[in-house]
Amino acid sequence: MSEDLPIHLRVPAELKALWVRESRAASMKLTDWIISRVERKMHIPEIVTEVAVLAEQAADLPIYFKSRQAADGVEAMLQAARAFQSAPHNPARLDAALWLGEAYLLFSRGLPDTGGNEQSTGWVTARQIAQLLGGPDVWERRVRAELA
């Protein structure tokens, strides 16, 4: 017999509101919607799209205006996502996806170690992107396996 156990998750209020809207649009309870998102295996195009959404949100964070390197990383992620979406073939998609991973590293290296809160430092967004990419080595292996 399986027992359901609670998982406590802290996310920014804006993200939770977005998840609630999306779960309602899918006619799902929030718990079921989150489980379906966590359990599904995302393909590279879906990950690139998600990272682009997060990068767009990062352009509104205070750190975007305080750190030139963080801003450059955000802009590079957006450019890489656009390049991926418009790429006519897999070799071009491969290059754009690898660029996206490098752009994330530029963004994360531009974030401060400390700040007033996680939202102001950009680490919440950086963590979400890192979870999607899985780390530089993992991302490169996945991208090469799926697009090479």
With respect to residue 2, please indicate whether it lies within any of the assigned structural domains.
no
Q: Which two three-digit tokens encode residue 143?
A: 């991208």
First to last CA, the chain: 43
91 and 108, same structural domain?
Answer: yes
Q: Is 25 exposed, middle or buried (0-12, 13-18, 19+ CB in 10 A)?
A: exposed
Q: Which two three-digit tokens encode residue 88?
A: 């006519």
Domain limits at 47? 43-147
138 and 68, same structural domain?
Answer: yes
With respect to residue 87, please indicate whether it lies within any of the assigned structural domains.
yes
- Asked whether 111 and 67 are in contact (CB, 8 A), the reply is yes
25 and 66, same structural domain?
Answer: no
Q: How many Cβ atoms are within 10 Å of 15's Cβ, its own excluded?
A: 14
Q: Sign (positive/negative) of CA torsion 62, 114, 131, 101?
A: positive
| pLDDT (tens place) for every residue of the chain, 148 residues total | 578 888 888 988 988 998 898 888 878 889 888 887 776 678 899 999 999 999 999 999 888 999 999 999 999 999 999 999 999 999 999 999 999 999 999 999 998 876 555 566 788 888 889 989 988 888 999 999 999 8
Q: Encode pLDDT of 67-109 as tens digits.
A: 999 999 999 999 999 999 999 999 999 999 999 999 999 999 9
57 and 32, same structural domain?
Answer: no
Specify the pLDDT at position 96.
97
Domain count, the chain: 2
CA distance 80 to 98: 9
